[in-house]
Amino acid sequence: MIKPHGADALKPLLVTDANERARLVAEAEKLPSLTLNSAAAANAVMLGGGYFTPLAGYMNVADAMSVATAMRTVDGLFWPVPVLNLAQNVDAIRGAKRIALRDPNVEGLPVIAIMDVDAIEEFTAEQIETITREVYGTLDPKHPGVAVFQGLGKYCVSGPIRVLNLSYFETDFPETFRTAVEIREEIGARGWEKVVAFQTRNPMHLAHEELCRMAQERLGADGIVVHMLLGQLKAGDIPADVRDACIRKMVDVYFPENTVMVNGYGFDMLYAGPREAVLHAVFRQNMGATHLIVGRDHAGVGSYYGPFDAQTIFDTLPADALDIEIFAADHTAWSKKLGKVVMMREAPDHAPEDFVMLSGTRVREMLEQGIAPPVEFSRPEVAEILMEYYQAEKKKSAA
Protein backbone atom coordinates (compact mmCIF):
# COMPACT_ATOMS: atom_id res chain seq x y z
CA MET A 1 0.00 0.00 0.00
CA ILE A 2 1.14 3.57 -0.67
CA LYS A 3 3.12 5.10 2.19
CA PRO A 4 1.70 8.04 4.15
CA HIS A 5 3.04 11.48 3.38
CA GLY A 6 6.39 12.22 5.04
CA ALA A 7 6.31 9.15 7.29
CA ASP A 8 6.53 5.36 7.26
CA ALA A 9 3.26 5.05 9.20
CA LEU A 10 0.26 7.22 9.93
CA LYS A 11 0.54 9.54 12.92
CA PRO A 12 -3.02 10.07 14.17
CA LEU A 13 -3.16 12.39 17.18
CA LEU A 14 -6.43 10.98 18.56
CA VAL A 15 -6.05 9.45 22.02
CA THR A 16 -7.61 5.99 21.67
CA ASP A 17 -6.71 4.49 25.06
CA ALA A 18 -9.80 4.93 27.25
CA ASN A 19 -7.88 5.35 30.52
CA GLU A 20 -5.47 7.88 29.05
CA ARG A 21 -8.31 9.78 27.47
CA ALA A 22 -10.25 9.91 30.76
CA ARG A 23 -7.15 11.22 32.52
CA LEU A 24 -6.67 13.95 29.91
CA VAL A 25 -10.35 14.93 29.97
CA ALA A 26 -10.12 15.39 33.73
CA GLU A 27 -6.89 17.37 33.39
CA ALA A 28 -8.42 19.58 30.71
CA GLU A 29 -11.05 20.90 33.08
CA LYS A 30 -8.32 22.43 35.25
CA LEU A 31 -6.41 24.05 32.37
CA PRO A 32 -6.79 27.52 30.84
CA SER A 33 -8.92 27.10 27.73
CA LEU A 34 -9.29 28.57 24.28
CA THR A 35 -12.49 28.20 22.28
CA LEU A 36 -11.45 27.44 18.72
CA ASN A 37 -13.02 28.78 15.57
CA SER A 38 -14.52 26.21 13.19
CA ALA A 39 -11.45 26.19 10.94
CA ALA A 40 -9.09 25.38 13.80
CA ALA A 41 -11.48 22.74 15.13
CA ALA A 42 -11.57 21.12 11.68
CA ASN A 43 -7.76 21.10 11.65
CA ALA A 44 -7.85 19.30 15.01
CA VAL A 45 -10.18 16.65 13.58
CA MET A 46 -7.91 16.13 10.57
CA LEU A 47 -4.85 15.89 12.83
CA GLY A 48 -6.68 13.51 15.12
CA GLY A 49 -7.68 11.16 12.31
CA GLY A 50 -4.22 10.96 10.76
CA TYR A 51 -5.18 12.86 7.62
CA PHE A 52 -2.53 15.50 8.32
CA THR A 53 0.33 13.05 8.93
CA PRO A 54 3.14 13.76 9.81
CA LEU A 55 2.17 17.03 11.52
CA ALA A 56 2.18 17.00 15.33
CA GLY A 57 -0.04 20.04 15.77
CA TYR A 58 -0.61 23.63 14.70
CA MET A 59 2.03 25.57 12.77
CA ASN A 60 3.83 28.67 14.04
CA VAL A 61 4.23 31.88 12.07
CA ALA A 62 7.55 30.85 10.49
CA ASP A 63 6.17 27.55 9.22
CA ALA A 64 2.94 29.17 8.05
CA MET A 65 4.79 31.77 6.02
CA SER A 66 7.17 29.17 4.57
CA VAL A 67 4.26 26.91 3.59
CA ALA A 68 2.36 29.82 2.07
CA THR A 69 5.25 31.06 -0.04
CA ALA A 70 7.25 27.87 -0.76
CA MET A 71 4.91 24.97 0.10
CA ARG A 72 7.43 23.63 2.61
CA THR A 73 7.80 23.98 6.35
CA VAL A 74 10.98 25.49 7.74
CA ASP A 75 12.29 21.92 8.22
CA GLY A 76 11.61 21.09 4.56
CA LEU A 77 8.40 19.04 4.77
CA PHE A 78 6.25 19.54 1.66
CA TRP A 79 2.89 21.01 2.68
CA PRO A 80 0.54 23.19 0.58
CA VAL A 81 -1.68 25.07 3.07
CA PRO A 82 -0.84 26.39 6.56
CA VAL A 83 -2.46 24.40 9.38
CA LEU A 84 -3.24 27.08 11.91
CA ASN A 85 -4.95 27.83 15.19
CA LEU A 86 -5.83 31.49 14.82
CA ALA A 87 -7.59 33.45 17.56
CA GLN A 88 -8.96 36.94 17.96
CA ASN A 89 -8.27 37.10 21.69
CA VAL A 90 -5.68 35.16 23.72
CA ASP A 91 -5.98 36.92 27.08
CA ALA A 92 -7.24 33.76 28.80
CA ILE A 93 -4.18 31.70 27.81
CA ARG A 94 -1.33 34.21 27.97
CA GLY A 95 1.68 32.66 29.69
CA ALA A 96 0.11 29.18 29.76
CA LYS A 97 2.23 26.24 28.65
CA ARG A 98 -0.61 23.73 28.43
CA ILE A 99 -4.19 24.56 27.48
CA ALA A 100 -7.53 22.98 26.66
CA LEU A 101 -9.01 23.60 23.22
CA ARG A 102 -12.80 23.83 23.13
CA ASP A 103 -15.03 22.86 20.21
CA PRO A 104 -17.21 25.72 18.88
CA ASN A 105 -19.37 23.34 16.85
CA VAL A 106 -20.76 21.26 19.72
CA GLU A 107 -23.21 22.46 22.37
CA GLY A 108 -21.53 23.20 25.67
CA LEU A 109 -18.12 23.84 24.08
CA PRO A 110 -16.55 20.52 25.14
CA VAL A 111 -12.80 20.07 25.08
CA ILE A 112 -11.67 18.63 21.75
CA ALA A 113 -7.92 18.59 22.42
CA ILE A 114 -5.13 19.43 24.83
CA MET A 115 -2.29 21.53 23.52
CA ASP A 116 1.26 22.16 24.65
CA VAL A 117 1.80 25.78 23.70
CA ASP A 118 5.08 26.40 21.90
CA ALA A 119 4.31 30.03 21.10
CA ILE A 120 1.62 32.68 20.91
CA GLU A 121 2.60 35.03 18.11
CA GLU A 122 0.93 37.84 16.24
CA PHE A 123 0.64 37.92 12.49
CA THR A 124 1.15 41.30 10.89
CA ALA A 125 -1.42 42.57 8.43
CA GLU A 126 1.18 42.12 5.70
CA GLN A 127 1.71 38.47 6.65
CA ILE A 128 -2.02 37.75 6.63
CA GLU A 129 -2.21 39.39 3.22
CA THR A 130 0.68 37.28 1.93
CA ILE A 131 -0.89 34.03 3.12
CA THR A 132 -4.23 35.04 1.62
CA ARG A 133 -2.73 35.92 -1.73
CA GLU A 134 -0.52 32.81 -1.94
CA VAL A 135 -3.10 30.27 -0.75
CA TYR A 136 -6.29 31.69 -2.26
CA GLY A 137 -4.79 33.49 -5.23
CA THR A 138 -6.85 36.61 -4.51
CA LEU A 139 -7.46 39.24 -1.84
CA ASP A 140 -11.08 39.74 -2.85
CA PRO A 141 -13.18 39.74 0.35
CA LYS A 142 -16.11 38.35 -1.64
CA HIS A 143 -14.23 35.08 -2.05
CA PRO A 144 -15.80 32.82 0.64
CA GLY A 145 -12.47 31.32 1.71
CA VAL A 146 -10.78 34.70 1.93
CA ALA A 147 -13.68 36.10 3.92
CA VAL A 148 -13.46 33.30 6.47
CA PHE A 149 -9.66 33.27 6.74
CA GLN A 150 -9.29 37.00 7.20
CA GLY A 151 -11.88 36.96 9.97
CA LEU A 152 -10.24 34.27 12.10
CA GLY A 153 -7.90 36.55 14.04
CA LYS A 154 -4.27 37.62 14.07
CA TYR A 155 -2.99 35.58 17.02
CA CYS A 156 -1.23 32.34 16.08
CA VAL A 157 -1.26 29.70 18.83
CA SER A 158 1.16 26.93 17.87
CA GLY A 159 2.26 23.62 19.28
CA PRO A 160 1.55 19.88 19.42
CA ILE A 161 -1.89 18.60 20.38
CA ARG A 162 -3.53 15.43 21.64
CA VAL A 163 -7.05 15.03 20.30
CA LEU A 164 -9.73 13.74 22.67
CA ASN A 165 -12.65 13.38 20.25
CA LEU A 166 -13.57 14.01 16.63
CA SER A 167 -16.25 16.65 17.19
CA TYR A 168 -19.76 16.12 15.82
CA PHE A 169 -18.67 14.06 12.85
CA GLU A 170 -18.75 10.67 14.58
CA THR A 171 -22.23 11.23 16.05
CA ASP A 172 -23.85 13.06 13.12
CA PHE A 173 -22.38 10.82 10.39
CA PRO A 174 -21.73 7.43 12.03
CA GLU A 175 -22.04 5.48 8.75
CA THR A 176 -19.89 7.86 6.72
CA PHE A 177 -17.25 9.68 8.76
CA ARG A 178 -14.00 7.73 8.84
CA THR A 179 -10.46 8.58 9.89
CA ALA A 180 -7.52 8.03 7.59
CA VAL A 181 -6.59 5.11 9.83
CA GLU A 182 -9.98 3.44 9.31
CA ILE A 183 -9.97 3.96 5.54
CA ARG A 184 -6.48 2.49 5.23
CA GLU A 185 -7.61 -0.51 7.24
CA GLU A 186 -10.66 -1.05 5.04
CA ILE A 187 -8.65 -0.69 1.83
CA GLY A 188 -6.29 -3.36 3.18
CA ALA A 189 -9.16 -5.62 4.21
CA ARG A 190 -10.63 -5.40 0.71
CA GLY A 191 -7.29 -6.29 -0.80
CA TRP A 192 -7.14 -3.16 -2.92
CA GLU A 193 -3.73 -1.93 -4.09
CA LYS A 194 -4.51 0.73 -6.70
CA VAL A 195 -7.19 3.05 -5.33
CA VAL A 196 -8.85 6.11 -6.90
CA ALA A 197 -10.19 8.87 -4.64
CA PHE A 198 -13.00 11.17 -5.74
CA GLN A 199 -13.45 14.42 -3.82
CA THR A 200 -16.91 15.92 -3.59
CA ARG A 201 -18.84 18.57 -1.73
CA ASN A 202 -21.93 18.03 -3.90
CA PRO A 203 -24.28 15.19 -4.82
CA MET A 204 -22.95 13.20 -7.76
CA HIS A 205 -24.71 13.55 -11.09
CA LEU A 206 -24.39 11.01 -13.89
CA ALA A 207 -21.30 12.75 -15.27
CA HIS A 208 -19.49 12.43 -11.92
CA GLU A 209 -20.48 8.78 -11.67
CA GLU A 210 -19.12 8.06 -15.14
CA LEU A 211 -15.93 10.00 -14.42
CA CYS A 212 -15.24 7.64 -11.52
CA ARG A 213 -15.78 4.67 -13.83
CA MET A 214 -13.48 6.15 -16.47
CA ALA A 215 -10.71 6.68 -13.92
CA GLN A 216 -11.05 3.17 -12.50
CA GLU A 217 -11.04 1.55 -15.92
CA ARG A 218 -8.21 3.59 -17.43
CA LEU A 219 -5.97 3.22 -14.39
CA GLY A 220 -6.84 -0.42 -13.78
CA ALA A 221 -7.75 0.46 -10.21
CA ASP A 222 -9.13 -2.08 -7.75
CA GLY A 223 -11.63 0.36 -6.30
CA ILE A 224 -12.90 3.89 -5.77
CA VAL A 225 -13.23 5.87 -2.56
CA VAL A 226 -15.93 8.53 -2.88
CA HIS A 227 -14.69 10.85 -0.13
CA MET A 228 -17.08 13.65 0.73
CA LEU A 229 -16.50 16.75 2.78
CA LEU A 230 -18.70 16.80 5.89
CA GLY A 231 -17.66 20.13 7.40
CA GLN A 232 -18.69 23.75 6.95
CA LEU A 233 -19.62 24.99 3.48
CA LYS A 234 -20.73 28.28 2.00
CA ALA A 235 -24.38 29.34 2.01
CA GLY A 236 -26.41 27.57 -0.64
CA ASP A 237 -24.39 24.34 -0.75
CA ILE A 238 -26.35 21.14 -0.17
CA PRO A 239 -26.10 19.76 3.41
CA ALA A 240 -23.92 16.75 4.05
CA ASP A 241 -26.73 14.38 5.04
CA VAL A 242 -28.53 14.99 1.73
CA ARG A 243 -25.33 14.53 -0.27
CA ASP A 244 -24.61 11.36 1.66
CA ALA A 245 -28.03 9.89 0.86
CA CYS A 246 -27.68 10.74 -2.84
CA ILE A 247 -24.23 9.23 -3.19
CA ARG A 248 -25.08 6.05 -1.29
CA LYS A 249 -28.18 5.51 -3.43
CA MET A 250 -26.13 5.94 -6.62
CA VAL A 251 -23.45 3.51 -5.45
CA ASP A 252 -25.95 0.92 -4.21
CA VAL A 253 -27.89 0.87 -7.48
CA TYR A 254 -25.28 1.50 -10.16
CA PHE A 255 -21.90 0.11 -9.05
CA PRO A 256 -20.87 -3.54 -8.64
CA GLU A 257 -20.32 -4.79 -5.11
CA ASN A 258 -16.88 -4.20 -3.57
CA THR A 259 -15.84 -1.55 -6.08
CA VAL A 260 -16.76 1.65 -4.21
CA MET A 261 -16.30 2.85 -0.64
CA VAL A 262 -18.36 5.85 0.49
CA ASN A 263 -16.67 7.81 3.26
CA GLY A 264 -16.48 11.35 4.57
CA TYR A 265 -13.99 13.55 6.36
CA GLY A 266 -14.37 16.36 8.87
CA PHE A 267 -12.94 19.50 7.33
CA ASP A 268 -14.26 22.93 6.38
CA MET A 269 -14.15 23.80 2.69
CA LEU A 270 -11.51 26.41 1.82
CA TYR A 271 -12.51 27.07 -1.82
CA ALA A 272 -8.80 27.61 -2.45
CA GLY A 273 -8.69 25.99 -5.88
CA PRO A 274 -5.18 24.78 -6.84
CA ARG A 275 -3.69 24.90 -3.34
CA GLU A 276 -6.65 23.05 -1.90
CA ALA A 277 -6.37 20.43 -4.64
CA VAL A 278 -2.81 19.73 -3.51
CA LEU A 279 -3.96 19.51 0.11
CA HIS A 280 -6.63 17.05 -1.05
CA ALA A 281 -3.87 14.95 -2.61
CA VAL A 282 -1.81 14.99 0.60
CA PHE A 283 -4.51 13.65 2.83
CA ARG A 284 -5.81 11.19 0.20
CA GLN A 285 -2.31 9.71 0.10
CA ASN A 286 -2.48 9.47 3.88
CA MET A 287 -5.75 7.55 3.73
CA GLY A 288 -4.27 5.07 1.24
CA ALA A 289 -5.35 6.29 -2.20
CA THR A 290 -2.83 5.98 -5.02
CA HIS A 291 -4.68 8.37 -7.35
CA LEU A 292 -6.90 11.43 -6.95
CA ILE A 293 -9.35 12.56 -9.62
CA VAL A 294 -8.78 16.27 -10.23
CA GLY A 295 -11.42 17.68 -12.49
CA ARG A 296 -12.31 20.98 -14.00
CA ASP A 297 -12.26 23.82 -11.40
CA HIS A 298 -11.45 21.39 -8.58
CA ALA A 299 -12.08 23.05 -5.17
CA GLY A 300 -12.79 26.33 -6.92
CA VAL A 301 -15.52 28.91 -6.58
CA GLY A 302 -16.82 31.55 -8.96
CA SER A 303 -14.29 32.58 -11.60
CA TYR A 304 -11.28 33.02 -9.31
CA TYR A 305 -9.29 30.20 -10.91
CA GLY A 306 -8.74 28.95 -14.43
CA PRO A 307 -10.65 25.74 -15.25
CA PHE A 308 -7.51 23.59 -15.13
CA ASP A 309 -5.33 25.49 -12.64
CA ALA A 310 -5.91 22.75 -10.06
CA GLN A 311 -4.35 20.25 -12.48
CA THR A 312 -1.43 22.29 -13.77
CA ILE A 313 -0.23 23.13 -10.25
CA PHE A 314 0.81 19.49 -9.92
CA ASP A 315 3.18 19.98 -12.87
CA THR A 316 5.04 22.60 -10.83
CA LEU A 317 5.59 20.46 -7.72
CA PRO A 318 9.02 19.03 -6.96
CA ALA A 319 9.49 15.36 -7.81
CA ASP A 320 9.73 14.37 -4.14
CA ALA A 321 6.58 16.23 -3.06
CA LEU A 322 4.01 13.42 -3.20
CA ASP A 323 3.70 9.75 -4.07
CA ILE A 324 0.02 9.94 -5.00
CA GLU A 325 -0.74 10.67 -8.67
CA ILE A 326 -3.61 12.62 -10.16
CA PHE A 327 -6.08 11.58 -12.80
CA ALA A 328 -6.58 14.80 -14.75
CA ALA A 329 -10.15 15.00 -15.99
CA ASP A 330 -12.00 17.37 -18.27
CA HIS A 331 -15.62 18.41 -17.85
CA THR A 332 -17.85 15.40 -18.49
CA ALA A 333 -21.31 15.47 -20.05
CA TRP A 334 -23.78 13.33 -21.97
CA SER A 335 -23.10 13.26 -25.70
CA LYS A 336 -26.26 13.23 -27.80
CA LYS A 337 -24.19 11.98 -30.74
CA LEU A 338 -22.61 9.05 -28.93
CA GLY A 339 -25.35 8.27 -26.43
CA LYS A 340 -23.02 8.21 -23.42
CA VAL A 341 -21.07 10.42 -21.03
CA VAL A 342 -17.75 11.60 -22.42
CA MET A 343 -14.98 13.98 -21.47
CA MET A 344 -15.61 17.02 -23.61
CA ARG A 345 -11.99 17.31 -24.74
CA GLU A 346 -12.28 13.77 -26.15
CA ALA A 347 -15.15 14.76 -28.43
CA PRO A 348 -13.55 17.43 -30.68
CA ASP A 349 -16.23 17.00 -33.35
CA HIS A 350 -18.98 18.08 -30.94
CA ALA A 351 -20.60 21.51 -30.79
CA PRO A 352 -21.98 22.78 -27.46
CA GLU A 353 -25.51 21.79 -28.49
CA ASP A 354 -24.35 18.16 -28.86
CA PHE A 355 -24.06 17.86 -25.07
CA VAL A 356 -26.75 17.76 -22.38
CA MET A 357 -25.70 20.72 -20.25
CA LEU A 358 -27.74 22.27 -17.46
CA SER A 359 -26.75 25.16 -15.23
CA GLY A 360 -26.86 24.71 -11.48
CA THR A 361 -29.56 27.37 -11.30
CA ARG A 362 -31.73 25.57 -13.84
CA VAL A 363 -31.32 22.22 -12.08
CA ARG A 364 -32.25 23.80 -8.75
CA GLU A 365 -35.37 25.37 -10.30
CA MET A 366 -36.45 22.02 -11.74
CA LEU A 367 -35.92 20.20 -8.45
CA GLU A 368 -37.85 22.87 -6.52
CA GLN A 369 -40.75 22.40 -8.93
CA GLY A 370 -40.67 18.62 -8.55
CA ILE A 371 -39.36 18.14 -12.09
CA ALA A 372 -36.64 15.51 -12.42
CA PRO A 373 -33.67 16.53 -14.59
CA PRO A 374 -33.25 14.41 -17.72
CA VAL A 375 -31.84 10.91 -17.19
CA GLU A 376 -28.83 11.94 -19.25
CA PHE A 377 -27.98 14.37 -16.44
CA SER A 378 -29.02 12.69 -13.20
CA ARG A 379 -30.03 9.25 -12.02
CA PRO A 380 -33.79 9.26 -11.19
CA GLU A 381 -33.18 7.77 -7.74
CA VAL A 382 -30.78 10.61 -6.93
CA ALA A 383 -33.09 13.23 -8.40
CA GLU A 384 -35.91 12.01 -6.16
CA ILE A 385 -33.86 12.63 -3.01
CA LEU A 386 -32.86 16.08 -4.23
CA MET A 387 -36.42 17.01 -5.19
CA GLU A 388 -37.62 16.19 -1.68
CA TYR A 389 -34.87 18.35 -0.19
CA TYR A 390 -35.37 21.37 -2.46
CA GLN A 391 -39.14 21.34 -2.14
CA ALA A 392 -38.86 21.19 1.65
CA GLU A 393 -36.44 24.13 1.59
CA LYS A 394 -38.80 26.09 -0.66
CA LYS A 395 -41.63 25.53 1.80
CA LYS A 396 -39.46 26.71 4.69
CA SER A 397 -38.49 29.91 2.91
CA ALA A 398 -42.12 30.59 2.00
CA ALA A 399 -43.35 30.08 5.59
7 lies in a domain? Answer: no
Cα separation, 227 vs 60, in Å, equals 29
124, 198: one domain: no
pLDDT tens-digit profile of 72-84? 999 999 999 999 9
As a whole number, mean pLDDT of residues 102-108 equals 97
319, 218: one domain: yes
Cα separation, 167 vs 89, in Å, equals 22
Enter the pTM of the model: 0.95
85, 215: one domain: no
Given this model, what pLDDT does residue 360 score? 76
Q: Are 242 and 364 in contact (CB under 8 A)?
A: no
Given this model, what pLDDT does residue 202 score? 86
Selecting among 21, 98, 133, 202, the annotated active-site residue is: 202
315 lies in a domain? Answer: yes
202 carries an active-site annotation: yes
Please state the domain count of the chain: 2
13 lies in a domain? Answer: no
303, 254: one domain: yes
146, 195: one domain: no
Given this model, what pLDDT does residue 99 score? 98
Q: Which of 250, 163, 142 is nearest to 203 (CA)?
A: 250
Q: Tell me the pairing of strands 195-200 and 155-163.
A: unpaired
Beta bridge partners of 122: 155
Given this model, what pLDDT does residue 236 score? 73
pLDDT tens-digit profile of 380-395? 999 999 999 998 888 8
Q: Tell me: pLDDT of 28 over 90.
A: yes
Selecting among 201, 213, 248, 364, the annotated active-site residue is: 201
186, 73: one domain: no
- For 72, half-sphere exposure in the C-beta direction (CA atoms, 13 angstrom radius) is 10
161, 182: one domain: no
Q: Tell me: pLDDT of 233 over 80.
A: no
1 lies in a domain? Answer: no
Final residue in a domain of this structure, among 115, 141, 170: 170
185, 243: one domain: yes
pLDDT tens-digit profile of 166-198? 999 999 999 999 999 999 999 999 999 999 999
The amino acid present at 81, given as its one-letter code, is V
130 lies in a domain? Answer: yes
Q: Does the CA dihedral 236-237-240-244 come out positive or negative?
A: positive
As a whole number, mean pLDDT of residues 357-364 equals 83
Final residue in a domain of this structure, among 108, 142, 170: 170
As a whole number, mean pLDDT of residues 282-295 equals 98
Given this model, what pLDDT does residue 231 score? 87
Average pLDDT, the chain: 95
Provide the CATH number for the domain around residue 250.
3.40.50.620
239, 110: one domain: no
Final residue in a domain of this structure, among 111, 142, 170: 170
Provide the CATH number for the domain around residue 129.
3.10.400.10
Instruction: Give the domain extent around 162.
Output: 18-170
Share of the chain above pLDDT 90, in %: 89
109, 220: one domain: no
Q: Tell me the pairing of strands 291-294 and 332-335.
A: unpaired
255, 217: one domain: yes
Q: Tell me: pLDDT of 238 over 90.
A: no
78 lies in a domain? Answer: yes
Share of the chain above pLDDT 70, in %: 100
Given this model, what pLDDT does residue 393 score? 86
252 lies in a domain? Answer: yes
As a whole number, mean pLDDT of residues 342-353 equals 94
317, 384: one domain: yes
Given this model, what pLDDT does residue 358 score? 83
Cα separation, 97 vs 160, in Å, equals 11
| 296 contact partners, CB below 8 Å, separation of at least 6 | 307, 308, 329, 330, 331
349 lies in a domain? Answer: yes
Given this model, what pLDDT does residue 399 score? 72
As a whole number, mean pLDDT of residues 221-250 equals 89
